[in-house]
Every structure is written in C-alpha cells, then in structure tokens.
A and B are shown apart, each in its own frame.
Chain A
Amino acid sequence: MPGTKKKGAQTVVFDNPLVLTAWASIVGPLEGGGPWGQDFDWIMEDYLFGEQTWEKGESKMLRETVKHALNKRNLEPADAELFVAGDLLNQLVSTNFAARELSIPFLGLYGACSTMAESLIVSSMLMDGGFFDRTVAAACSHHYTAERQFRFPTEQGVQKPPSSQWTATAAGAVLLESVGVGPRITAATIGRVVDMGQKDIADMGSAMAPAAVDTIKTHFKDMNLPTDYYDLVVTGDLGKIGMAIAQQLFIKDGVSPRPNYSDCGVLLFDDNQGALSGGSGCGCSACILCGPLLKKMLAGDIKKLLFIATGALMSPLSSFQGESIPGIAHAVVIEN
C-alpha cells in the first residue's frame, strides 16, 4: 500500500501541519557583524564561548540555542519529547554532547550542511505520524572545528581560491508543536544524492547546485505547483558561485523560482567580510532560517517559504581517495 501522505516521487504532505512555535539562533562574531546581525538572538563574543576548546564551544552554542528556543515558550528541556539535530564533526560530537546535557530523547543526524532541513523533516514526519507532540529540530556548525577537520590548521598560512566558502559559526533551533500559533510546516521533499563529478574541495557550491535544482524541480512537479507559488525560495549554502550555477540550471530546466530566489550562504555575509563565495555549514542555513527568515514570516513579509538546505557529502578521506563530491538537498515548505 502506498503511503497516503506521500505525493509524487519524493514529497510528503502533512495532514496536521506542524507549528513552529518558537525558534532561536546563536552566531559567532563574524556572522553577527554581517547584514543580519540584529536578527539573531545572541552573538558570541569569541569562538570559544567561554569553553576550553572550539568543539566544547560549538556544543555549548547548540545547547544554549535549544534552551533559548524552549525558554521563549517558558519550557524546560524536560518538556520536549524529542531532540533531532546534527553538526559537521566526526561522530557528531558537538550535537551528542549537547544532547547529553539537555537529556531530551535524541536522534542524531548527519546530512552535511543540509542538516537543518533534514532535522525539520524527520521531526515533522514523526509528529504528523502521531508519535510526538513537541520536538526540537536543530543544527550547528563552527568555523574552526570544521576547518581543522576538513582543511588545514587555523594558523596555517594558506591562500583560498575565490570559490571557497566560509563555514559559519552558528546554531539554529526550532521548537515544533502539533498545536499552537506560528508558521507551519505543510510539506517537504526529501532529496536524492546527486553527483555531477565535481572534485574541487575548494568549491562546494558547484558540487551542491545540481542537487538543489533537482530537489526544487521535483518539489514543484510532485506538488503540481507553479514556480511563482512561493514568496521566497531559498537554498542553504550554495554561495555566490553555486547560486549562479543553480540559476543557469533553473533556466535550462525551465523551473526558475519567482518572484524571489536567494541563498543563505550569499545572504549571511557582506562582501567585505572575506567570506569569498559566501557562508556554508549546517549553521549557515539554520541561523538564517531561525533568524531573519522566520522573523519575516512572523511579521507577514513572507507568507510562503520554500527552504532548501544543501549538503556536500564528502570527507577529506573520500577526496584523497579520488572520489567526486556528492550533493544532497532537502526542501521544507513553511507557510503562515
């Protein structure tokens, strides 16, 4: 028997749309100094956040973001039934250690930078399936923990090409409830892994753009919607180059989203902040969603949002072994 809540090839539609009753975002100093600084809940003074190591700082950032989101509804971590989250580090250490402190039943996810959409989708499906009434979906990334895992030691003097992106130090958390007031998640499209043979580890945008376009195209087809249905279609962290490529692919495939298409990686930083092609990391799309985007939805500036977080599913190991970089993108529909 086919699932009754599934529509088309890859899309799920929720019978009882899940309500985003509260959300929070914490970002690093560079992100806080960007164009959306005033829309985040908290800007860290430094990258350690009062901890001894960057990893501990990242973990604390996620933990505090979750607590802050719950606080906005006067709730304690114990009131949440499920915590679904992830980060970029091996064995999900930042998230696992945050979950240890929070002590909410926990499912850890790895979707590279697509984690925010993935955590929203998993929580939404579990809630619409009737298993839970109150869950927290979250994601985080930290510039220096990611640099040391994926690239070079931070004090190493290396020149980056213009295609490289700046992993954001940021966390975003959303409190989802089956009943409440706020924007709602009505549908989601689960992406396929798309690999167009890109191998340049200093250019994630080109690796992820085809996955983003594939998911967006599938979403419009599955939902049978015109491409001007959403007020804003926003991808996760394609950066300037990935976004430019995605726009070319939209034209080629005849699915150019209108009236507005943008990318969280392009939005997060100003040109003069040295982020080159733009922001990246799970925290990039998470903080833009849980900062300016949901704020604008609450104010009614955006009524229908298609949020597509994008991930490059590589590791330094796979790259050294000559593998190309597979991309993934998941789409979430958030409506007022």
Chain B
Amino acid sequence: MLTTPDPANQLKKIEIEDYETLVQQVKPKPPLLKNSFWAFVVGGVICMLAQAIQNYLLSKGAGKTDAASWTSVIMIFLGALLTGIGVYNELGKIAGAGSIVPITGFSNAIVASAMEFKREGYIFGVGARIFSVAGPTLVFGFVIAVLIGAIKVFISS
C-alpha cells in the first residue's frame, strides 16, 4: 500500500470538490414548500376518499376486517384505472410522494410496468417485468412481515 498520497490524485480530488461546490451553487433546489403542499393535498384526498369508502361499507353493516379489505381492493382498482387512462402519472408529477405512498401508488407502479412491457409479450414482457418497480416494496414488505411475526412469536411465548 502507498502511504504518501499521490499529488496528481490529490489535485484531482480538490478539483472535484471545487466542481461540486460550483454545481451546488448553480443547481436550483426543488421547490420544497410547493412540493410538500401538493403531496399533502393529493395524498390527503386519496386517504380521505379511502376513509369515506370504508365508512360507507361499515355503515352498510360490513365487518371491520372486510371493510378494510374491500377499501384496499377499491383503491387498488382506482389506482390501476387512473394509470390506464393516463391520469396517474400526471398526478405524480405534481404530488410526488403524495401519490406514491398510498396503496394507489403501488397499484400505479405495477400497472405502469405491465403497460410498458406489454409489447415484449405476455411472458418475457408483462410476466417478467410487472414487478420491476414494485418488486423492492414486495421483497422488503415480506422481510419486515417475517421479522414482525418473529418478534410477536417471541413476545407471546
């Protein structure tokens, strides 16, 4: 291993740091306040809609678990529908995380991938690529579920 720093490397490092400073000066910051506002509004409306659906189902005499499941199913359907007619991506441009985090965003990620890769056929296109964006959510969702399950087993035993 070399112990003395290579002067050429040092110089390059300083140059890169200088450049980074320049880039940060010039690059506009994302409009945080505006983005947060729209994320709050759109995300809030999606959640309110889901809550309204759930309340309606409960008022019609559905059980608590059933109402929750049906609400998810309806929201997933709405997310898929809005993706299919090309509305959800426009919503995402404005809302950012506000439309990604709710379950409709998960639906959007899957349907968007399915639509995108349809032209490569149903096996190697849709089938193979449908979870290309949503995959990480599923994988780590499963991992967390297993961990929480394990914790519950330990606590209750």
Where the two chains meet, the residues of A that have a C-beta atom closer than 8 Å to any C-beta of B are 52-53, 148, 152-163, 196-198, 203, 206, 210, 241, 244-245, 248-249
Contacts and interface: CB of A to CB of B under 8 A. Distances in A.
A156 B22 contact: no
Given A159-B94, A159-B96, A197-B16, A153 B26 contact: no
Given A241-B27, A245-B23, 5 more contacts: A153-B112, A155-B108, A156-B89, A159-B35, A196-B20
Nearest to B105: A157
Contacts of A244: 26
Q: Choose among A159, A163, A210 the residue with the greatest number of B CB atoms under 10 Å from its CB.
A: A159
A265 to B, nearest CB: 15
B30 interface: yes
Contacts of A159: 35, 92-97
A159 B95 CA distance: 7
12 contacts: A158-B89, A158-B96, A158-B100, A159-B95, A160-B93, A163-B27, A197-B20, A203-B27, A206-B26, A206-B27, A244-B26, A248-B26
Given A52-B119, A152-B112, A153-B116, A245 B26 contact: yes
Given A155-B86, A157-B89, A197-B19, A163 B28 contact: yes
B61 to A, nearest CB: 35
Interface of B: 15-16, 19-20, 22-23, 26-28, 30-31, 35, 83-84, 86, 88-97, 99-100, 105, 108-109, 111-113, 115-117, 119, 132-133
Contact of B119 (A53, A158, A197): A53
A196 B97 CA distance: 31
- Nearest 4 A-B pairs (CB), nearest first? A157-B92, A153-B116, A159-B96, A155-B112
A162 B30 contact: yes
A245 B108 CA distance: 36
A101 B63 CA distance: 64
B16 A154 contact: no
Nearest to A158: B92
Nearest to A243: B26
A161 B133 contact: no
Q: Choose among A158, A163, A198 the residue with the greatest number of B CB atoms under 10 Å from its CB.
A: A158
A156 B93 contact: no
Given A52-B119, A210-B19, A155 B26 contact: no
Contact of A154 (B19, B95, B105, B116): B116
A335 B100 CA distance: 51
Nearest to A203: B27
Contacts of B92: 156-159
Nearest to A244: B26
Contacts of A148: 116
Given A52-B119, A53-B119, A148-B116, A157 B99 contact: yes
Contacts of A154: 89, 112, 116
Nearest to B15: A196
A148 B112 CA distance: 11
A186 B86 CA distance: 48
Nearest to A274: B93
Given A162-B28, A206-B23, A245-B26, A157 B133 contact: no
Nearest to A252: B22
A157 B119 contact: no
Contacts of A152: 112, 133
Contacts of A248: 22, 26
Contacts of A206: 23, 26-27
Contacts of B89: 154-158
Contacts of B90: 157
Nearest to A206: B23
Contacts of A155: 83-84, 86, 88-89, 108, 111-112, 115-116
